[in-house]
Structure 1
Amino acid sequence: MGRVTPQDDRDDEEAAGSLLLDDQLCFALYAAQRAVTAAYRPLLDDLGLTYPQYLVLLVLWEHGETSVKDLARALRLDYGTVSPLLKRLEGAGLVRRERAADDERSVLIACTERAEELRERAARVPGALLTTTGLSAQEVARLRSELWQLTERADTAAVRRRGH
């Protein structure tokens, strides 16, 4: 069922120092990310959205109007990446950007009525992805939990490295 890699035939210590592509955790994550994004593509095409646009709308649907800074933080992206994405969403009539009344330096982002209308159709995407991938809700929950744990550990390691 699963992909057999060179690591499967060696002990973990040996594989940990391997330079074989299929032994790299980063490559397994990269390949999985690309495959999952590809599985989302036809579902999002039906909504007229790209995957990054879908993520922006998920944040806005969950939190309502938010600052660009908070949006970037939620998406774990930098301002330079978020800004052109928001410009495209605004051009498509899905979000509006405006300066905060209490702080002219802060830009607020909110969904338009058109984006709110997409919300109901978008609610079908997660279930459709489960059907497409054949994963159960429990498998998705386990994978998500493990990936968030990995993210936290990697973030902590990165902070420690920068500190030294």
Structure 2
Amino acid sequence: MQNQWLVAYTSPKTEKKIYGRLLELDIDAFLPLQKVTRQWSDRKKVVEVPLFPNYLFVKITQQERWKVLSQRGVIKFLSHGGVPCSVPENQVRAIKDLICEQEVEIYGSSSLCKGERVVIVKGPLMGFEGFLTEKKGKMRLVVRLSSISQSISIEICESHVEKIYG
């Protein structure tokens, strides 16, 4: 049977430990991380946290599912109607590329406005559609990944998107 990307749902704050154990078992796993600045009472620190909390991507066959489910902290696979939902390879690749690529923010533009629907025409998420939003005065693009019912918000160069009309 062919390997497919599934999403394991984990206990809170266990994604990194489970990811490490799966790699030790030679299971193809992917944990998208993002860098965020955390403020403590005495200092600020940049830490890596999961892009999708409680979610861990695994590329496995049907026979290998038990190896993942038997790991402490793995609760279940995301499923629809009792059937695990697979994530297309191109979406996983796009997430990997997105994490590696540092896009710049959308600069002031008279042609694009908050709330408009756009399509990405360049870069790792080419072909994905989303909506422009604003966060701390900066324009961002929210892209919905329907296969895992999650959204990501990214800063993106204006030249990488086009408005969708109609």
> TM-score scaled to structure 2, two decimals?
0.24
Flag the structure with more relative contact order, 1 or 2, with Cα contacts below 8 A and sequence separation at least 6.
Answer: 2
Q: Which has the larger strand fraction?
A: 2
Q: Which has the larger helix fraction?
A: 1
Which is higher, the Rg of structure 1 or of structure 2?
A: 1
